[in-house]
Structure 1
Amino acid sequence: MKKIGILFGQENTFPQAFVDRINKKAVKNISAEFVIIDKVIQGEALGYDVIVDRISQDVPFYRATLKNAAISGTAVINNPFWWSADEKFFNNALAVKIGVPVPKTVLLPSRDMPENTSGNSFRNLEYPLDWEGIFNYVGFPAYMKPYDGGGWRDVYKLHDPEDFFDKFNQTRQLVMMLQEEIIFDDYFRCYCVGGQHVRIMQYEPRNPHHLRYEHGKAPAAKKILSQVKEYVLKLNQYLGYDMNTVEFAIRDGVPYAIDFCNPAPDADLASVGEENFEWIVETMATYAINRAKAHKSGQDNLTWGQYIKSASAKTSLIPALTPQEAPKTSSLKTKTSSE
C-alpha cells in the first residue's frame, strides 16, 4: 500500500478535503492520511511515498524532517531543498532572465545589523547606498517588502524618499526589496499544479482578505489570459514547484508577475470560494495519486526545476522552453473565477 500524507498547520478545510478526495477515489493500493511524526532518525523515511507540505515554511523542525524524508525517497511536494534556497528577489531575477515581465526591483540590506555581526562584517558594503540611483530606477510610488516574506506582513506603500526612509527605519533586521508599483487595470491570482495545470482566478488585492476573490469585473480578453497562462507555466517549470500561485497585475495589456513564491498558497474554502476550492482539491488529489504511482523506492522522487537542470548541465538560461522540454497542455480547463 502506497501512502500519501499531508503535513499542515492551522488550516482546516483543504487538508481534510484533500485526504477525503483521495480515499474516495479508491485507487488500488493508494491511501491518504494526515502525517504523523513520533520520531525522526537520520536517513530513515517516515513511511510515506508522498508528502504534501503546507507548513514547513513556518516550522524549521518540519523542514529538516522533510529533507530527511526526501533523501530517503519520499516525494515531497514541494521540494524542501529548493524551497529552502528560493526567495522572492531571486524569483524576480529569474523572471528577468526568462522573459517574464516583473516590476523594477532592488534588494536592500537590513536597516539594523544582524545579531552577532559588527561594522567589520560589512566592509564590502558601501554606505550610504546610491539612494539617488535606486530611487531613479524604481520610481515612486513604490512598495517595500521582505525579500523572502509571505503574505502582507511588513509591506509598506511609499510615496517619496522621505516616506521611504521613515518606513525603512522601522524594518529592523529584515532584508527588504524596494519595488515599483504597478498601477493595474486587472489582477489575477493563478494556481499552478505539477507545472501543467493552471487555474486563473480574478482577484482584487485591495479588498479585505475574505473578499479578494469576489472580483466583480468582466472576464479578461482571451489574449491576456493566454499570456498569463504561458507565464505561469514558464515560471513554475523553471522554479520546479509542484504547487504554487502566481499573481499578475495587468498594466496596458501587459501581465507583470508580482508574486510567485507561494509554495503553500491559500486554499481555504472560505477565502477562495467553492469553485476554486473544488479545482485545487481535485487537481492536487489527482496529482498526488499520480506521484504515488510513479514513486520509486530508494530513489530521488523530488521535482527539480529547469533552472537547476540547466545549472547542473552547465548551460545558460534560455528565453523559453523548447517544444521537447515543454509539458503537454493541461486537459483541465483554465478559466477565471467569474466564469
Structure 2
Amino acid sequence: MKKIGILFGQENTFPQAFVDRINRINPPGIFAEFVSIDKVLQGADSGYAVIVDRISQDVPFYRAYLKNAAITGTAVINNPFWWSADDKFFNNALAQKIGVPVPRTVLLPSFGLPDNTADTSFRNLVYPFDWNTIFEYVGFPAYMKPYAGGGWKHVYYLEDKEDFFQKHSETGQLVMMLQEEIDFSQYYRCYCIGGKDVHIMPYNPKNAPHQRYQSDFNGSQALMKKITDHVLALNQYLGYDFNTVEIAVRGEVPYAIDFCNPAPDADINSIGEEHFEWVVETSARYAIERAIKQKPGKDNLTWGKFVQRTPKAVKKTDTAKSVAAKKSPKKSPAKKQQKEK
C-alpha cells in the first residue's frame, strides 16, 4: 500500500479536500492522509510514496525532514532541494534567458549589515552603488520587493528616487529587488500542476485581498495561448510540480511578474469554488500519478530543465571509457612490438 501525505500549517480547506478527493477516487493500492511525524532518523524511510509540501518554507525542521524523505525515495511536491536554492531574482534571469518577458529588475544589497558582518565584509562592494544607471534602467514609478519570499510582504510602490532612498532605509537586512512597474490592462494568476496543466484566473492585485479574484479581465484566445505557453515553460525549466505564475499584460505582451509561489493560496474562501474545484481535482490526480510511478529507494523528485542540462557530447559510456583510458594508458608502438616478439 502506497501512502500520499500532505504537510501543511494553518490552512484548513485545501488539505482536507485534497485527502478526501484522493480517497474518493480510491486508486488501487493508494490512499492519502495528513503527514504524521514522531521521529526523524537519518536515512530512514518516511513511509510515504508522495508528500505534498505546503509549509516547509516557514518551518526549517520540515524542510530538513523532506530532504531526508526524498533521499529515501519519497516523491516530494515540490522538490525541497530546488525550493531551497531558488529565488525571485534568479527566476527573472532564467525567464529572460528562455524568452519569457519580465520587468526590468535589479538586485540591491541590504540596507542593514547582515548579522556577524562588518563594513570590512563588503570590500568587493562599490559604495555608493551606481544609482543613476540603475534608476535609468528601471525607471519610475517602480516597485521594490524582497528577492525571496512571497505573500505581498515588504512590497513598496516608489514614485521617484527620493521615495526609493527613504523606503529602502526601512528594509533592514532584507535583500531587495527594484523592479519596473508594468502598467497593466489585464492581470492573471495561473496555477500550474505537474508542469502540464494550467488554470488561468483573472486577478487584480490592486483590489483588497478578499476581492482580488473578483475580476472580469477577458483576454483574447491568442493571449491565453501565449500565457499558457509561458507558464508551462517557466515551470518546466524551474521544475515546480505545484506553483502559480502572475501575469501582467501591457498592450498584448504578457509579463511574468511573480512565479516563485510553490505553496500558493488554495483556500476556497479566497480563490472561490470554481478555482478550488480545479486545483483539488488536478492536484489529487497528479499526486496519484506520482505515487504510481514512485520507485522505493530511488530519486523520485522533479528536476527542472535548467538543472537537467548536461553537455550533449558527453555520455556516461564516454566518461567511463576516458576514465579507463587514464588508468590504462596505451602502450607505445615500440613496447607493442616487443610484446609481439
TM over 0.5: yes
**Structure 1 residues 125 and 143: alpha-carbon distance in aligned structure 2, compared to 1, 3 A threshold:** same
SS in 1 for 2:48: coil
In our comparison, the structure showing a higher alpha carbon Rg is 2
AA aligned to 1:8 is: F
2-structure distance, mates of 1:24, 1:273: 22
1:311–1:146 CA distance, 2 compared to 1 (3 A): farther
Q: CA–CA distance in 2 between the matches of 1:58 and 1:9? A: 9
Give the equivalent residue in structure 1 for 2:304: 305
- In 2, Cα distance between the equivalents of 1:129 and 1:226? 41
Deviations 1:31-84 (A, max 9, x none): 000000001010112100000000000000000000000011100000000000
Alignment correspondent of 2:237 = 238
Q: SS in structure 2 opposite 1:258?
A: strand
SS at 1:41's partner residue? coil
For residues 141-193 of structure 1, what are the alpha-carbon distances to aligned partners after superposition, in whole Å with 9 as ceiling and x for unaligned? 00000000201110000000000000000000000000000000000000000
Give the structure 2 partner of residue 174 of structure 1: 174
Show the counterpart of 1:136. Answer: 136
Report Cα offsets for 1:235-288 as digits up to 9, x if no partner: 000000000000000001000000000000000000000010000000000000
1:26-175 matches, cutoff 5 A: 26-175=26-175
Q: How does 1:202-213 map to 2 (within 5 A)?
A: 202-213=202-213
Pair 73,17 (structure 1): closer, same or farther in 2 beyond 3 Å? same
Q: Equivalents in 1 of 2:270, 2:312: separation in Å?
A: 42
Per the alignment, do residues 119 and 265 of structure 1 end up closer, same or farther by CA in structure 2, a change over 3 Å counting? same
Aligned to 2:264, the other structure's residue is in SS state: coil
- Report the 3-state secondary structure (helix = DSSP H, G, I; strand = E; otherwise coil) of the residue aligned with 1:291: helix
Alpha-carbon distance in structure 1 between the residues aligned to 2:310 and 2:180: 29
Q: Which residue matches 1:263? A: 262
Match of 2:337 in 1: none
Aligned residues with identical type, % of pairs: 68
Look up the match of 2:250: 251
Q: Does 1:228 align with 2:220?
A: no
Change over 3 Å in CA distance of 1:167–1:71 after alignment to 2:
same
Question: How far, CA to CA, are the matches of 2:198 and 2:312 in structure 1?
Answer: 28
Unpaired runs of at least 5, structure 1 = 316-339
Alignment partners' CA distance in 2, 1:257 and 1:25: 35
- CA distances 1:75-123 after superposition (whole Å, capped 9, x unpaired): 0000000000000000000001000000000000000110100111101
Letter of the structure 2 residue corresponding to residue 105 of structure 1:
T
Q: What are the equivalent positions in structure 2 for 1:209-220 lying under 5 Å apart?
A: 209-217=209-217, 219-220=218-219
How far apart, CA to CA, are the structure 2 residues paired with 1:67 and 1:81? 7
Work out the CA distance in 2 between the residues paired with 1:309 and 1:171. Answer: 36
Instruction: Using structure 2 for the length normalisation, give the TM-score.
Output: 0.91
Alpha-carbon offset, residue 216 of structure 1: 2.8
Q: 1:168 to 1:312 in 2, by over 3 A?
A: farther
State yes or no: 1:20 paired with 2:20.
Answer: yes
AA of the residue aligned to 2:33: E
Unaligned runs of 5+ in 2: 315-341
